[in-house]
Amino acid sequence: MNYRIGEVLLTEEKISRRVREMALEIAETYKGQDLMVIGILKGAVIFMSDLVRSVSPDVRISMDFMAVSSYGDSTKTSGIVRIVKDLDCSVKDKNVLIVEDIVDTGLTLSYLVKLMQEREPKSVRVCALLDKEERRQVPVKVDFRGFSIPDRFVVGYGLDYSGQWRNLPSIYLVEQEN
């Protein structure tokens, strides 16, 4: 099956405005505190780099990354979460903010939140650019949410299809080619 980029769902301008609003919410929550921002590779990289640059310096940010595999090459979740790359730093007694590109079934994030909590941080919160709420299989508290979106597969702004299209500045629906 071949796929192509379809309609734009969220433009570059709309994303950028919302990311700046989210950064304000984050700055308000963590004002005067240290914050370890944990990006989930690779999808969250572009979102995270815009987000942290918009958070005021009142928050002392450090960054780390984790890679998990849950999807392989298809557009359907396998339900299996495997750590491919763990954090370099300890989260003990730290404020942790997990940054994800999209929450779908919630399996990845619920696993990651549980894993972080076992490491005894001061706090754990979740920030996700996109949320397909109607697809949820397990409950996850999303503390900072960019956009709720319908149950359609999307690419761009960090999100890929088979490793492609992460670099698109806007977010697009994917369509099947006739």
Residue 154 interacting with ligand 5GP (CB under 6 A):
yes
**Residue from 16, 29, 54, 105 binding ligand 5GP (CB under 6 A):** 105
* Three-class secondary structure of residue 37 per DSSP: strand
Residue 155 interacting with ligand 5GP (CB under 6 A):
yes
Token output for 153: 């597969």
Residue 108 interacting with ligand 5GP (CB under 6 A):
yes
Between residues 25 and 160, which has the closer beta carbon with respect to ligand 5GP? 160
Report yes or no: 154 and 138 within 8 Å, Cβ to Cβ: no
Between residues 44 and 59, which has the closer beta carbon with respect to ligand 5GP? 44
Nearest alpha carbon to residue 42 among 67, 63, 19, 62: 67
Nearest 5 degrees, angle CA 154-CA 44-CA 49? 125
**Residue from 104, 121, 124, 144 binding ligand 5GP (CB under 6 A):** 104
Taking the chain, what is the end-to-end CA distance rounded to the nearest angstrom?
9
Report yes or no: 131 and 102 within 8 Å, Cβ to Cβ: yes
Catalytic residue of the set 50, 64, 88, 104 = 104
Residue 104 annotated to the active site? yes
Catalytic residues: 104
Q: Applying CB under 6 A, which residues contact ligand 5GP?
A: 43, 70-71, 77, 100-108, 153-155, 159-161
